Amino acid sequence: MARPRPVFEGSDIEQDELEDILRADKGNQNSDEDSDDDFDKLSFGALKNAQDKMDKEDGKTKKKSNNNRSFDIVDPRVAGLQKKSNKSTKRDAIKETRYNDSDSESEQEQGGFFEEEDSEASDNENESRSHGKGKKKNKHAPTETSSKKKVSRVRQVPGLDNPKYKTLYQDIRFDTALGKADLNKIRKDYKFLDEYRENEINQINSILKNPKVKNKMSQKEINDLEYEAKSLKSRLDSLKNKDLQQEVLSKYKQENKGKNGGKFYLKKSEQRKIIQKHKFENMKTSQREKVVERKRKRRLGKEFKELEFNRPRN
């Protein structure tokens, strides 16, 4: 429950006097100097209450803190001029002064609350305007950038190589400006790396086969080692397979060099046949049987598919 504020007996008298002065001012019975003298007779509290009510009607009330409640000194001449300009609102303001103090306090609190909302809304609008300056008005419009931001002198232009975006160190052996790289020569020069790969694969396999070392490792570490061993082995096999293909083709070209009277070009299909023939001739008996069986199953599968496709539908 809100505590009732004390009511002074002199307040009603002052309100009546103020009402009489305003009525006389409305009828223009006295001059401006007389009206100023009448306003001088009133107390500052009565003038303050009237001014508060006038400000509420105009929507110009300001937030007042509960800790610092101070009455502003009102110049009676300024108040008189304001009352002359707003004669219709004065009468309503004086009538509202007779309401309960509790109602006036609730109205003040509500007014402060809405003023806070208005101030927050205005702040949000200012922020949105400040943020909206960099945004595009239309999605097809060009983007706006600040003129205060400096543009870098060194920029990446498409089609031109910029040293800023290049690596610091370059290997001239693989530079395209010095000619096309000879992969066969590079492979011969770095063939000794195969021995390091084989040793690494053997070390990994020995670690995985040792139960004492394997028990101390986590499952993730074991999976990583297995994956690394498989990748190294597959890479080594692919390199050896390429070396074999190159060796078979160079040998075939040397044997048939005199027949064609010089260099000749082999199609990829012919190269594939020569390589497969060489592999089949150098296979073991068990490997040959597996290859023949695989080809037989593949041929049977094709024949079954053709029969199903040509079978009449019911």
**Mean pLDDT, to the nearest integer, of 181-190?**
85
User: Hey, what are 190's tokens?
Assistant: 């770095």
Same domain, 46 and 100: yes
For the cut 80, the answer to whether the pLDDT of residue 146 exceeds it is yes
Measured CA to CA, the distance from residue 238 to residue 187 in angstroms comes to 13
**Nearest Cα residue to 108 out of 154, 58, 53, 174:** 53
| Segments forming the whole domain that contains residue 26 | 10-64+72-123
What's the pLDDT score for residue 173?
73
Q: Are residues 29 and 95 in the same domain?
A: yes
- Using the structure block, give the residue that is written with the tokens 């040293």: 163
Instruction: Give the Cα separation of 275 and 247 in Å (integer).
Output: 10
The whole-number average pLDDT for the span 188-194 is 90
Query: What pLDDT score was predicted for residue 119?
Result: 55
Which has more pLDDT, 217 or 29? 217
0.85 exceeded by the pTM?
Answer: no
Q: Do 275 and 254 share a domain, yes or no?
A: no
- Within a domain: 80: yes
Report percent pLDDT > 90 for the chain. 18
Distance (Å, rounded) from C-alpha 227 to C-alpha 196? 18
Residues 208 and 301 in one domain: no
Task: Label residue 123 by pLDDT band (50, 70, 90).
Answer: low
203 and 101 in a single domain? The answer is: no
Q: Are residues 97 and 23 in the same domain?
A: yes
Is 132 inside a domain boundary? no
Question: Is residue 171, in this structure, part of any structural domain at all?
Answer: no
| Local confidence band at 217 (pLDDT 50, 70, 90 cut-offs) | very high
Q: How confident is the model at residue 69 (pLDDT cuts 50, 70, 90)?
A: very low
Which range (94-98, 99-103, 226-230, 289-293) has the least confidence?
A: 99-103
Pick from 246, 256, 244, 237: which is nearest to 182 by CA?
Answer: 246
Mean pLDDT of 211-229: 93
pLDDT digits (tens, 9 = 90+) for 78-104: 455 555 555 555 565 555 555 444 454
Q: What whole-number distance in Å separates Cα of residue 60 and Cα of residue 52?
A: 9
151: in domain: no
Q: What is the 3-state secondary structure (H, E, C) of the chain?
A: CCCCCCCCCHHHHHHHHHHHHHHHHHCCCCCHHHHHHHHHHCCHHHHHHHHHHHHHHHCCCCCCCCCCCCCCCCCHHHHHHHHHHCHHHHHHHHHHCCCCHHHHHHHHHHHHHHHHHHHHHHHHHHHHHHHHCCCCCCCCCCCCCCCCCCCCCCCCCCCCCCHHHCCCCCCHHHCHHHCCCCHHHHHHHCCCHHHHHHHHHHHHHHHHHCHHHHHHCCHHHHHHHHHHHHHHHHHHHHHHHHHHHHHHHHHHHHHCHHHHCCCCCCCHHHHHHHHHHHHHHCCCHHHHHHHHHHHHHHHHHHHHHHHHHHCCCC
Burial (Cβ within 10 Å: 0-12, 13-18, ≥19) of residue 93: buried
Do 191 and 273 fall into the same domain? no
Q: Is pLDDT larger for residue 72 or for residue 249?
A: 249
How many domains does one find in the chain? 3
Between 255 and 33, residue with greater pLDDT: 255
280 and 245: one domain? Answer: no
Does one domain contain both 20 and 115? yes
At 252 the pLDDT is 87
Over its C-alpha atoms, the chain yields an Rg (Å, rounded) of 50
Tokens for 153?
């002198």
Give the mean pLDDT of 135-152: 80
- Residues 278 and 199 both lie in one domain: no
* Residue 148 forms part of a structural domain: no
pLDDT-based confidence at residue 21 (cuts at 50, 70, 90): low
> Bigger pLDDT: 4 or 233?
233
Residue 140 lies inside a defined structural domain of this protein: no
| Residue 167: predicted pLDDT | 64
